[in-house]
Amino acid sequence: MQKPVLVIKLGTAVLTNDKGEIAQATIKKVAAGIAELIQDYNVILVSSGAVGSGKSFFARYKGTLAERKAAAAVGNPILIRHYQRHFSVYGIPVAQALCERQHFSSRPRWLQLRETFAEFWKNGILPVMNENDLVSNVELKFSDNDELATLTAVGFDADALLLCTSVGGFLDGDRRVIPRVEKVDGRILGLVQKGKSSLGLGGWCRS
């Protein structure tokens, strides 16, 4: 029987410190947790942190689109090496899966992506997804990795999507976690804020 799919998204603020350095202790814990989950699920890890890992290599980094693209290109291999090191403890190989919006808008490309992921899982390989920032067209970029993770979860008919961020949850006006949103209405949308951390693109949240 085929395993259900589980999509896990890690935000930049979770993975890096204020200097953009990878938090090794966090990745170590993530590897230990996924090593257990992978027994029962086909896991997809959507990981931010590439730009944060690469921006320190650029003098006077200002965060322009061109700088973010270049930083991601530098940071992606750094990030994947850390994942390889920590997951190798559990005998789990990792694969870097850089995606673009066209993978979701073109059915032939989407089917190819699904087939590739099926090969990963068949061979015990964990796919680590991120946007292919270097070549992504500015008009067609994902808004952030929350969107990429959501599209992936829907496309793979995942049992669950876990968004791991530095925020404790979706908060009401008194900063209490709302455990379950039954309906997205005006009241719920009124709790959404557009603020973001200094590290990530920032999914909307109430913080």
**Per-residue pLDDT, 83:** 96
pLDDT > 90? residue 8: yes
Nearest 10 degrees: Cα torsion 153, 114, 1, 9: -30
Report the predicted TM-score, pTM, of the whole model to 2 decimal places. 0.82
**Per-residue pLDDT, 50:** 85
Confidence of residue 206 (pLDDT cuts 50, 70, 90): very low
Instruction: Give the mean pLDDT of 77-102.
Output: 93
131-143: pLDDT as tens digits? 877 666 554 466 6
40-54: pLDDT as tens digits? 999 999 998 888 888
What average pLDDT does the chain have?
A: 84
SS3 of 105, please? helix
Instruction: Give the mean pLDDT of 70-77.
Output: 89
DSSP of 120-178? HHHTTPEEEEEE-TTT--GGG--SSHHHHHHHHHHHTT-SEEEEE-SS-S-B-TTS-B-
pLDDT > 50? residue 202: no
Instruction: Give the mean pLDDT of 64-69.
Output: 86
